[in-house]
Structure 1
Amino acid sequence: MNPAATTPKPPKPSRSRSNDRRHARKQSRINTRGIYLRAIKDAFVKLNPKQAVKNPVMFLVWVGTLITLAVTIEPNLFGPVTEDNPHLFNGMITVILFFTVWFANFAEAVAEGRGKAQADALRSTKSETIAKKLFPDGAITEIPATSLQKGDTVYVVAGDTIPADGEVVMGSASVDESAITGESAPVLKEPGSDVASSVTGGTRIISDELIIRITADPGKGFIDRMIALVEGAERSKTPNEIALTVLLAVLSLVFLFVVVTLPFIAQYVQIQVSVAVLVALLVALIPTTIGGLLSAIGIAGMDRVAQFNVIATSGRAVEACGDVNTLVLDKTGTITLGNRLAEGFIPVNGHSMEEIAYVALVASIFDETPEGKSIFRLAEKLAARIDFDPQKAEAVEFSARTRMSGTNLPNGKQARKGAVNAIKGFVRTRNGQETPDLDAAYEMVSQQGGTPLAVCLDGEIYGVIYLKDIVKPGIRDRFDQLRRMGVRTVMLTGDNHITASVIAKEAGVDDFIAEATPEDKISVIQREQEKGKLVAMTGDGTNDAPALAQANVGVAMNTGTQAAKEAANMVDLDSDPTKLIDIVSIGKQLLITRGALTTFSIANDIAKYFAIIPVLFAAANLQGLNIMKLTNTNSAVLSALIYNALIIPILIPLALKGVNFRPLTANQLLQRNILIYGLGGVIAPFIAIKLIDLMITAIGLA
């Protein structure tokens, strides 16, 4: 059966855009409702002591709940009490403490549920697809996609689902990748391009036909790895999160010691404090707000990265983004638009425009890159034509070592194009002569920010190709933002020093390395790390894998090689190298959110301290300490606990969304946190606790 002769299936009919939007909104509501319903159930499951003990602060509240439950059942369990209705008062404290723990579990469950929902959406793309396996003799057999092995060849036409990850070897077609990237616009796939030749299992071909070579064994495809990454509920805590957990545990122990010694002080001034009030005081003073939201903040950080179509292998990688000091960036495709195109030819050594066009055409006939195709098209516009049989010629592939490519002609001549210095060396090995006007053409192109490629035939140089590349609009402003955050940018490029300096100046990077080799990437990263810096970089090729593994944050492109994806700790589904800048911003937002809520939580303790302690000692003629003018001990305790419990669900949206990120220095961020979350964390509970006290008094609960 000949694939070319097969009639393509018509694409499936699509809804109108308005229907699509309505369907998306409805689906979003269903997904959100499902997340919250599942989180309600999971919050109860997390009450299991084996899970509760993982959070020291909330575990202390959990134990306190059991103690108050015991004194609710038997108020005199730890001695006689003086409250008028201890069963009601102790029972109310127990209920409030229970919901404090449950709200903390709910916050974590919601954050986890968003990751599970994403995994479910990905799993829905893994239907039992039938693959058309193509054999060497042209025969086609339909088999289950799960039976495909690495190296098999499949044939897909419009309407088919691509059965597994692979590389396009023949054909050109539009592919719907929305199931993976979320981008509704179809993507053109064709062989000969790193970006356009890679396809992912679960995506759908919507026009024409393709022949694909499978690159992943069953169960090891990209969607399988994504599901495993985003679904894992058993995440490991990051170093900063562990350090903060230890700090919160130490603070809780300090307050526990204070509360344990308080009865002796109260006895000295002839005041009796019940066990329920002591437990309530402990819960009010320990940092329960950040203790309840800490896990949710970390999980939500990974989710925000996922919303940018980036899959992180761990929370450690996301957190490391917030501490990055140096960004190592390739020029092409990251700082510039990429896909450099031939803008013109500059003849040298007395040759004509027609002659250089011919040699450039000959040197590019096997070059399938966008750059090579643009040279071929420009030469054809100048009436250059091939005067030999291409099937009898030999292609010379580009390599980072030789820094040139070309064609060995049937008559024995060798046409080459590449870096000027590389072509000079090639010509010298053939006893050719360098020409003085070559350097002038080289400098002219370089000073315009272009890339000069020299062209030669055997030992004679014919001229320079002017490859034009454009700096991405707005990239300079983004680098300025990174600089204000204390992040240094280093541009790597294979271009010559003059071109690199022009692009670096226009883009606003802090440093650059010209004529860079793959080894230079590792050297740059190691030098920065030796200075105590955290380094991030992007890459997509096999030769990038060592550098990606060396970097603290390595972001591989989805269209990159398997080696690059395995070496990196993040994968960008959109294959956008500039995404690294966004990822750094998300990492810093994670740290800022954690710091802001920690500041707010600790500041809350000041108000709760003044709410409970002064009222406890009111019986010792110290009413002047009751600056909040709360009604009595019971109302003060209940008001502080109710605020303490309610503030957790109130802050869940902020923990999941993150504090608004602004590119500020560390000192500016500290001042902003203290002003907004420190001062706000002191004022807000004073107001809230007083209002709650008035309501409790009005309904007669105290």
Structure 2
Amino acid sequence: MSVLTQTPVPEQKSDEAHSTTKKSAFTAAQLIAALPGALRKLDPRQMWRNPVMFIVEIGAAYTTILAIAEPFLGGAAESGGSTVPASFTWGIAVWLWLTVVFANLAESVAEGRGKAQAESLRKTRTSTTANRLTGYDESGDPSAQSAVTAPVSSADLTLGDVVVVVAGDLIPGDGDIVWGIASVDESAITGESAPVIRESGGDRSAVTGGTRVLSDRIVIRITSKPGETFVDRMIRLVEGASRQKTPNEIALNILLASLSIVFVMVALTLNPIAGYSNASVSVPVLIALLVCLIPTTIGALLSAIGIAGMDRLVQHNVLAMSGRAVEAAGDVTTLLLDKTGTITYGNRQAAEFTAMKGVDDTELVHAAAVSSLSDPTPEGKSIVDLALTRGFRNDEITAGEIVPFTAQTRMSGLDLPDGSQIRKGAGSAVIAWVEQGRRLASSEHEELEGYIEKVSNAGGTPLVVATKSADGVGQILGVVYLKDIVKDGLRERFAELRTMGIRTVMITGDNPLTAKAIAAEAGVDDFLAEATPEDKLALIRKEQDGGNLVAMTGDGTNDAPALAQADVGVAMNTGTSAAKEAGNMVDLDSDPTKLIDIVRIGKQLLITRGALTTFSIANDVAKYFAIIPAMFAGVFPGLGLLNIMGLHSPASAILSAIIFNAIIIVVLIPLALRGVKYRALSASKVLSRNILVFGLGGIIAPFVGIKIIDLVITLIPGF
């Protein structure tokens, strides 16, 4: 039965930690490499996808035409009845074009990183010869069958083909191992030089095309079509070719486009209205006003922010199948975490020996150590290590026949030459083994159950140790306490998540008593004990029905339904093909704890977008005080009171605002690519901080920047 229960957790203070080393967001080399791409993006067929910058480009083109035509028309630009210098229109046109180029540059720099990563991945995608098998019936070693091997190009392999790969060969395509076990070098994909073990029949059967088999011989069934391998998808995703705008990004684009249309209508109707007061404004000035009114800053950086968010995931060796997944990670409210390998190290360690009444501690320690000397598991080795600290000596090694652990017996041990036996294993299994020779007394049984329950309540795993004499009479010696070691720092990280309103749920197959103890030690909010794949799926649906967004990790075929149901499903790269197909992210390092970092990256993406949107809107407010007084000061002297910056002239004020509007985009590109510094705060505190830092900063920066630019412009003759 599954148990979902609430675990009381004491308040924790979050630490400012877990920061990662960031690459430089904007260098001269990146700028030079991205410039050609930025110029190519001036194509109107591409620009229309960004409505705000498309309006700026139309304005730039129209202003350029006016600048060329002005000498032939004999007119000059006017602002509220004041004539401006002849070079004014050209200045507006040039800086409008630069505004568009700078916006494209932000996106081009972000895409440039992905293209560099894609190029390195392409080097792994080499055509190789594959040994395709026909007539293989999957019953075992193909060399013992009538299967026929035929060499074909890896490009000719199709879904369902079966190939044999030997040591030294490149794996020709994505697939699952159906026979054999091998050591595989996956450094071309993961960057990790240490080889990994891949074998048939488990959750580590998936292999990736382009990786190399280092040892042994395996048979693989191809699970991808030509051009749709994992590497192919990685290349398309990291270079941005298949990046789709997220729902929030689309909604924000619609909002920005709507605001831009409103301001276009304002600009179109302004001149006729102003004409009644003899305050007509020239078209270049109206275009300058329009560009300063519409939210060009966030419009220019919005796409770069999304691309940079996916790039940060790639730097963490996580491949997001869509920008929607990254955004969803930022909105996650429930985090499902497997106990083993995520919350605990997975290698249980012996922590204590508890002898039965009347049994000498030395006898228990000796029996437990002797039965574990040939145990290759981390648990067995930890028992020997603990026994050495309790007086056991290596020279006490006893010869005998090793009895390995099996799922059926749930015990392991040693059969000694004199006919006696030693066993350690699950309590019920050892008790049944002892009672084959004699029945345990009720007091003995109660004492043992008490020790087992004590270990379970502490979150550990009890191993019962017993011996049996040559005549078949058994004796329970005591219990070994195997402790699940909770990873360092998790309690603090879970406290940070709690601060952000994220609830953590530990998933485990342990009994409720053990699960409760581990959950309390780790600091998670809830736990699901004795969980089956169906229980995971039911829990995810229950959370989603309650309005929560759920994230989880998995690697096995039985995790596929839950990964597909979760809003953020992170599949391990070592897992099965079914798991990787079901999830919307793949962790190349196969580190389950990385789910916490993925949520942080998603949060940072949303925070960055919100911060720069706040800055952009505040930025526009400040520019009104430069543009509006300058436009009509000649006709309405009272507007001079609004010229709080003391700008030199209408022409210098308008041109200064346009120049600042372009330069601020370049200044903010590094922040858009690097992201606003992440802090574990609640949504209300994040909003307050954005308003204080970026809202206030967005108002102050234009006042300072426009005034400085105005002082420089006044040095130019004619202004």
Partner of 1:602: 617
- Residue 38 of structure 1 and its aligned partner are, at CA, apart by 5.1
- Residue 201 of structure 1 and its aligned partner are, at CA, apart by 3.8
1:53 and 2:48 are equivalent in the alignment: yes
AA aligned opposite 1:606: V
1:524 and 2:539 are equivalent in the alignment: yes
Distance 1:169 1:78, change over 3 A: farther
Partner of 1:566: 581
- Mapped partners of 1:417, 1:78: distance in 2: 100
- Mapped partners of 1:247, 1:147: distance in 2: 48
Aligned pairs for 1:289-328 (under 5 A) are: 289-328=297-336
- Residue 373 of structure 1 and its aligned partner are, at CA, apart by 8.4
- Mapped partners of 2:559, 2:50: distance in 1: 40
Distance 1:604 1:613, change over 3 A: same
Distance 1:51 1:221, change over 3 A: closer
The correspondence for 1:237, drawn from 213, 222, 245, is 245
The correspondence for 2:459, drawn from 449, 455, 474, is 449
Q: Is the 8 A contact 1:132 1:156 kept in 2?
A: no
- Residue 116 of structure 1 and its aligned partner are, at CA, apart by 2.1
Aligned pairs for 1:284-683 (under 5 A) are: 284-341=292-349, 396=407, 435-452=445-462, 466-619=481-634, 620-622=636-638, 623-683=640-700
Partner of 2:219: 213
> How many pairs does the alignment contain?
652
AA aligned opposite 2:450: A
- Mapped partners of 2:529, 2:718: distance in 1: 75
Query: What SS class does the counterpart of residue 340 from structure 2 fall into?
Result: helix
Distance 1:547 1:287, change over 3 A: same
- Mapped partners of 1:426, 1:561: distance in 2: 38
Distance 1:198 1:465, change over 3 A: farther
Distance 1:264 1:225, change over 3 A: closer
Structure number with higher relative contact order (C-alpha < 8 Å, ≥ 6 residues apart): 2
Distance 1:454 1:324, change over 3 A: farther
Q: Is the 8 A contact 1:360 1:375 kept in 2?
A: no
Distance 1:361 1:147, change over 3 A: farther
Partner of 1:122: 121
Deviations 1:190-244 (A, max 9, x none): 7599787765443456xx7333332535645432332233234242211111111
- Mapped partners of 1:58, 1:454: distance in 2: 72
Q: Is the 8 A contact 1:99 1:645 kept in 2?
A: yes
Q: Is the 8 A contact 2:203 2:576 kept in 1?
A: no
Partner of 1:275: 283
Query: What SS class does the counterpart of residue 571 from structure 1 fall into?
Result: strand
1:251 and 2:259 are equivalent in the alignment: yes
Partner of 2:11: none
Aligned pairs for 1:61-140 (under 5 A) are: 61-75=56-70, 81=76, 83=78, 88-129=87-128, 136=143
- Residue 95 of structure 1 and its aligned partner are, at CA, apart by 1.5
- Mapped partners of 1:147, 1:504: distance in 2: 51
Distance 1:633 1:81, change over 3 A: same
Deviations 1:466-513 (A, max 9, x none): 433211111111111111111111111122223222222221111112
Query: What SS class does the counterpart of residue 333 from structure 1 fall into?
Result: coil
TM-score normalised by L of structure 2: 0.79
Q: Is the 8 A contact 1:36 1:110 kept in 2?
A: yes
Query: What SS class does the counterpart of residue 649 from structure 1 fall into?
Result: helix
Distance 1:378 1:690, change over 3 A: closer
- Residue 383 of structure 1 and its aligned partner are, at CA, apart by 6.0
Higher helix share: 1
Q: Among the aligned pairs, what percent are the same residue?
A: 56
Distance 1:465 1:123, change over 3 A: farther
- Mapped partners of 1:34, 1:446: distance in 2: 59
Query: What SS class does the counterpart of residue 143 from structure 2 fall into?
Result: coil
Partner of 1:19: none
Distance 1:595 1:422, change over 3 A: farther
Q: Is the 8 A contact 1:349 1:461 kept in 2?
A: no
Unaligned ranges ≥5, structure 1: 1-27, 398-403, 408-414
- Mapped partners of 1:386, 1:152: distance in 2: 44
- Mapped partners of 1:198, 1:315: distance in 2: 25
Give the alignment's Cα RMSD to 1 decimal: 4.4
Q: Is the 8 A contact 2:515 2:527 kept in 1?
A: yes
- Mapped partners of 1:227, 1:546: distance in 2: 27
Deviations 1:650-691 (A, max 9, x none): 211111110110111112111211121111111111111111
- Mapped partners of 2:465, 2:149: distance in 1: 45
Partner of 1:153: 164
- Mapped partners of 1:212, 1:142: distance in 2: 16
1:181 and 2:197 are equivalent in the alignment: no
